[in-house]
Amino acid sequence: IGAGNLLTNLQQDEEIDFLVTFKMVRRVMRDLGIHCQIRKKKHNRIKQNEQYIQDNLLNQNFEVSAPNEVWLSDSTELSYGVNGEYKVRLSGVLDLYGRRLLSYNLSDTETSSAEIQVFQRAFVAAGDVHPRIHTDRGSAYTSGAFNNFLNQFEVERSMSRPGTPYDNAPMERWWNEFKLRWMDRHPMAKTYKELVKLVEDGIEYFNHQNRSAQRNGLTPDEYWNEAI
């Protein structure tokens, strides 16, 4: 993580009984050769036939005032095995308020049934809510089955423009940080069971322990509970 997030965590640490400044953290990082790392996103998806296309209603407006106003969703690839020879898709639903991951699902590929399952879990967790839901234009999200499923919840749909990943930037960033700061910092899971445990622990960390200056030094869970 960068100097800003390090400073936020140090300010919340009860064992730190002296003033810590941004310049101090940045200087110590430089002296120790500690650098914030950024993962380069890979674009290797095959374009599929689009069925249900929605306008980009979100339009990169990532400011919300309460939980369950806007949900973002996407999936990313994870590897496991002795040599990383096995691949799975991790799907998630992210509440834009506080960047809290509401639900997740592991599947062999990104299919409409996998995305339906992750949204079923999100609605079970959130209750009777009607958020705006923003996704990309992947075949799973434009399928008839997925859109028919969402219709029962009276939600508003929004989709990224073609070739514009920044339209879903908070979700992209969440995946990048999850991989860089969690998956890449642990030994690769050898079995599917080990992968499930690693993913569960990582999501637990990012929801309940990861502090950020953008949330006034709170974790996503604390930020959510404060709003509720």
How does DSSP assign 137-154, residue by residue? --HHHHSHHHHHHHHTTT
Give the separation between CA 3 and CA 37, rounded to whole angstroms: 12
* pLDDT, position 49: 47
Nearest residue to 224 via CA among 64, 4, 113: 64
Per the CB < 8 A criterion, the answer to whether 123 and 102 are in contact is no
DSSP element (H, E) containing 208: helix 192-208
* pLDDT, position 107: 96
* pLDDT, position 129: 96
* pLDDT, position 228: 75
Burial class (CB in 10 A: 0-12, 13-18, 19+), 146: buried
Nearest residue to 62 via CA among 148, 199, 173, 212: 173
Hey, what are 226's tokens? Answer: 């404060």
* pLDDT, position 4: 76
Which residue bears the tokens 């310049």?
A: 23
Per the CB < 8 A criterion, the answer to whether 25 and 31 are in contact is no
Could you state, in order of their start, the residue ranges of all structural domains in the chain?
3-32, 70-227
* pLDDT, position 48: 43
Fold of 70-227: Nucleotidyltransferase; domain 5 (3.30.420)
The pair phi, psi for residue 87, each rounded to 5°, is -125, 140
| CA-angle at 29, arms to 26 and 32, nearest 5° | 150
pLDDT mean for each 10 residues of the chain (228 residues): 76 82 79 68 45 84 96 97 96 97 95 96 95 94 94 94 92 96 96 98 97 94 90
* pLDDT, position 37: 60
Beginning with the edge strand found earlier in the chain, give each strand of the sheet holding 132-135 in spatial order. 100-107, 86-95, 70-80, 132-135, 156-159
| CA-angle at 163, arms to 42 and 184, nearest 5° | 20
